[in-house]
A = this chain, B = another copy of it.
């Protein structure tokens, strides 16, 4: 697994770097970004994985969220993967913003032709951490966060992998993809008609199921988010956590929308939340 560095910028006393590598899991070349705080020069640091939303690449978060300032202060490595396989050209793959390229939904597709490449769940939970931990000054303490589709991704990655993450948070996550238009479109195409497999990739369903571990969970949701009622449905996550006795701090934020201006406003609270959990892990 060779890594080609394609960009490097000094940022808040550390380094923001972008790498291209051949993903065996996805059977294509992928790019990811890593921010190495100054503390990583002297000792391995814990890592926070950030999963981005529809249409994003590894770049949006690193350019717009302002997270490097906090990562530099707290000694966190930030890792931002892309949102889907790239460089492939499957039928219809590039036709819509909410399916195919830029919209991998952090699951392993079982339906052809997607199952040959669209295995973002294994990529972000297994292949990428193994690659990062073998090549960078990163400890095996990990947390995970994300936005919208990536908030869904962060939730299912944490819920399905007990012991792998110290904490999970999300901005405006898709909480119940089996019952929203984005989720139904993606799941039916990637996973086929088997609703049981859908439920294994749904945060609310997983929280209501049998969990080996209950992680600290922080969610911010803008009240002026255009996708709130139809796609995101935060009340369903509140209900599922209440019914299952799962910890949740969900903060409704008046006036905030779905943009990175919302994320930038509240990213500090999320990074401090993860740094606290990682210190205890």
| B-binding residues in A (CB < 8 A) | 9-13, 16, 63-64, 66, 68-69, 222, 224, 253, 255-257, 259-262, 264-265
Interface centre among A13, A253, A255, A262 (most CB of B within 10 A): A255
Task: Give the residue name and chain of the B residue nearest to A223 (CB).
Answer: B10
Q: Are B224 and A259 in contact (CB under 8 A)?
A: no
Residues of chain B within 8 A (CB-CB) of A224 are 10
Cβ of A261 to closest chain B Cβ, rounded Å: 4
Complex alpha-carbon distance, A68 and B66, angstroms: 11
Cβ of A66 to closest chain B Cβ, rounded Å: 4
Q: Do A69 and B257 form a contact, CB below 8 Å, given A10-B224, A64-B63, A64-B64? A: no
**Apart from the given pairs A9-B257, A9-B259, 19 other A-B contacts in the complex at a CB distance below 8 Å:** A9-B262, A10-B222, A10-B224, A10-B253, A10-B255, A10-B257, A10-B262, A10-B265, A11-B261, A11-B262, A12-B264, A12-B265, A13-B265, A16-B261, A63-B63, A63-B260, A66-B66, A69-B264, A69-B265
